[in-house]
Structure 1
């Protein structure tokens, strides 16, 4: 009896796979060689990928991002060997180093993966330091990343129109970010302080024409001004008054664009009795005077 196991690149039950023809990208780059700085070449989903095996003796000209959902696998990059387990991802940079990766024999991995490249791929890797390979990275279950992958796949499955390619390639950035900056893509648990921030911002918006103080805001929640300022700044990255002024300037921009009201009226509607003081604040935040902003946005 022949017990030889056949190593496989693909062909797994339930798999999904797309390879974008090179001609598609050649035609796109004839029209505009600079629009897609990075782009997808292949992508796939391999569930329970028993005997999955790839050897690349001369490396790979693409970056490969791979997310292990279940099971485990292994890879070699250069002269180093790594193990990948569930809820870990790897970003293999474009390289000419020897590369090999394969599913574990006893507990084969389930993986989502994307190959991508581009004229700026070396700069991309240098800036994000993906060329300094750190091995598998552990993250919480990345539901958002999987949803983005599905959206990209669905777009490309519908064909290679400009709209479908744009949607997929813009999604590629979001997909990568959901792994490299995973903590920024996790919805924070609701807690008392986050409710306080939401209520305060809503209160600011509802009273945009008033002069609110930190004491006024803190009093709404029976907190001391100092403690309120600390939790507000921690949540938003800026002091309460600066945040309130930002909201006022945002509203001022809307009014200057859509209304014919005089600068003095805009200032009064936002709680500024002195239009010259309002203009100085506006310029500080927006980099130009209210008059110049109105001219620029109506060109």
Structure 2
């Protein structure tokens, strides 16, 4: 494990370091061995906080909510400000320091495990990218504070296993915090507006021309750009939203399949049943029967 800062904690700050014997347990336990934290904490207005690591053995994620800091990592020098998420990968020496006139407030976690390689790309830190601006994300603060709920547990096994799975929740939820704003900025496509339009028209049929016109693009460029950003075509996404709604109606109502198909803009219930099976792998009647136990 990389050395954790021994900087004196100011009021309102927390630093939690998992003992070596328990790290070995987390490394081997089937519920935690793929991903587990080594230490985590919250530093409030961390005046005088500075750290240099020539050897860095784990992954470090820092979310800055106030103040600023200067970070040197690899060949980069970064100015970190409130709203920035900083990623410092294993194997990359780094140095960071925060100025006395505007010290940063941060939540941070050191973590390791076989999943870290996959998470690096999933989180959006490809290549030399080490910083993502998230802005203020209250949900992320809830997740970081969830890790800290393990304190005062007396280093017991079960609370630490729970903390490991809270870390997985935190990391897998992060792209949901930054993906949509980034996509809108890169693509000049307001995906949330387009998806809201789809939600508003689940009861009828939207065609590709209507969606492309809303985006202000030709059909060809709209399909290509949408698929580049989401991995699927707009009509595929629209259909999947309709199937999600159909599942909800099958679960919560006694409406017949023709009635549900009509509510979702399809006059031909047999055609809609084929679409449903293509997405869900079972027919609507089988879906309802299996999920009515």
TM range (shorter): 0.5 to 0.7
Partner of 2:251: 254
Partner of 2:278: 284
Partner of 1:26: 24
Q: Gapped runs of 5+ residues in structure 1?
A: 1-6, 205-211, 216-224, 260-264
| Kept after mapping to 1: 8 A contact 2:32/2:164 | no
- C-alpha distance in 2, partners of 1:151/1:114? 12
Alignment map for 1:154-193 (pairs within 5 Å): 154-158=149-153, 160-161=155-156, 164-177=159-172, 179-183=174-178
Give the 3 Å change call, closer, same or farther, for CA 118–195 of structure 1 in structure 2. Answer: closer
Give the 3 Å change call, closer, same or farther, for CA 283–167 of structure 1 in structure 2. Answer: same
Alignment map for 1:223-242 (pairs within 5 Å): 238=235, 242=239
Query: Post-superposition shift, 1:270?
Result: 3.5
| Kept after mapping to 2: 8 A contact 1:267/1:274 | no
Alignment map for 1:27-106 (pairs within 5 Å): 27-32=25-30, 35-57=32-54, 59-95=55-91, 97-106=92-101
Question: TM-score, normalised to structure 2's length?
Answer: 0.66
Question: TM-score, normalised to structure 1's length?
Answer: 0.65
Alignment map for 1:196-275 (pairs within 5 Å): 204=203, 238=235, 242=239, 245-247=242-244, 249-251=246-248, 254=251, 266-268=256-258, 270=260
**Secondary structure at 2:125's aligned position in 1?**
coil
Query: Post-superposition shift, 1:194?
Result: 8.8
Give the 3 Å change call, closer, same or farther, for CA 231–37 of structure 1 in structure 2. Answer: farther
Query: Post-superposition shift, 1:38?
Result: 1.5
Query: Post-superposition shift, 1:41?
Result: 0.9
- C-alpha distance in 1, partners of 2:246/2:84? 43
- C-alpha distance in 1, partners of 2:145/2:165? 13
Query: Post-superposition shift, 1:15?
Result: 1.3
Query: Post-superposition shift, 1:138?
Result: 2.7
- C-alpha distance in 2, partners of 1:199/1:291? 26
Instruction: Tell me the matched-pair count.
Output: 262
Which structure has the bigger radius of gyration?
1
